[in-house]
């Protein structure tokens, strides 16, 4: 199964872009991409990096 097939689809209310995650967490793009490298769940969708809000929040809460 490809990463894109597991990604939240457009229109999914749980789907977020990098910019939206930056706003939600009040962090820079650089921090979000560093966290992706550290295991923050994300998906590639047509060349765009997308997230599930629920997974992002769970991942951040588990780091605290």
List pLDDT tens digits, range 12-62: 889 999 999 999 999 999 999 999 999 999 999 888 999 999 999 999 999
Helices (H), ranges, the chain? 3-6, 18-25, 29-37, 53-63
14 by DSSP, 3-state: which?
coil
Query: What pLDDT is attached to residue 2?
Result: 53
Query: What pLDDT is attached to residue 5?
Result: 67
Domains and CATH numbers, the chain: 3-63 (1.10.10)
- Provide the CB-side half-sphere exposure for 45 (13 A, CA): 16
CA distances from residue 18 to 5, 39, 46 in whole angstroms, order as listed:
19, 15, 14
pLDDT of 10 > 70? The answer is: yes
């Amino acid at each position: 199964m490809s990463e894109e097939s597991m990604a939240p689809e457009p229109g999914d209310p749980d789907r977020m872009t990098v910019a939206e995650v930056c706003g939600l967490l009040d962090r820079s793009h650089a921090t979000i991409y560093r966290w992706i490298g550290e295991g923050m769940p994300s998906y590639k969708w047509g060349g765009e990096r997308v997230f599930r809000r629920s997974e992002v929040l769970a991942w951040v809460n588990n780091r605290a």
